[in-house]
Amino acid sequence: MIVQLKMFDRSAYDRYQARCSTSSGKFSGRLLSADEHPAVLEGSWDRDKLVLMSFPDEAAFRAWSDSPEYQEISKDRQAGAQAVVLLARALDELETSEIIVDPARGAPARKTNSSLPERTESKAEGESNT
């Protein structure tokens, strides 16, 4: 999970942050980074914080984000920050045939004509759980 935050009520967000890791840990969620000053290497970035979290799989993430405990905690995040939340699959979750290497960068990339099953529709704007 990748979250880009724009703060507007820091005290509300701090309440959320204090409770979030305990909550996500119950679903095997791990905080990988919470950086308020990430290095912008290309383009522009108008956010105040970047958060990276890992869950064993999408089901674990959704169990956490839909849990009554997190729903209550997330009220403080929604009161304190505007968020862009992305859920990205790990390379080991992609079919081997769907992974190619971009020779110019030497980095794995995913084919655009994927036969992977589609994800469920995300919630409407303003209904984000994270």
* pLDDT of 122 strictly over 70: no
Residue type at 108 in one-letter notation: P
In this prediction, residue 121 has a pLDDT band, given cuts at 50, 70 and 90, of: very low
If one counts every other C-beta atom within 10 angstroms of the C-beta of residue 122, the result is 12
- Specify whether the CB–CB gap between 11 and 80 falls below 8 A: yes
pLDDT one-digit tens code per residue, 2-47: 999 999 999 999 999 999 988 999 999 999 999 999 999 999 999 9
Residues 6 or more apart in contact with residue 67 via CB below 8 angstroms: 23, 27
- Specify whether the CB–CB gap between 17 and 61 falls below 8 A: no
In this prediction, residue 89 has a pLDDT band, given cuts at 50, 70 and 90, of: confident
- Specify whether the CB–CB gap between 79 and 7 falls below 8 A: no
Q: In the chain, what are the domains?
A: 2-90 (3.30.70.100)
pLDDT of residue 62: 95
pLDDT of residue 4: 97
What DSSP designation does 44 have? -
Q: How far is CA 5 from CA 8, 22, 76, 107, in A?
A: 10, 20, 13, 27
Task: Provide mean pLDDT across the span 48-70.
Answer: 95
Q: Global pTM?
A: 0.70
Task: Provide mean pLDDT across the span 63-79.
Answer: 96
pLDDT of residue 21: 85
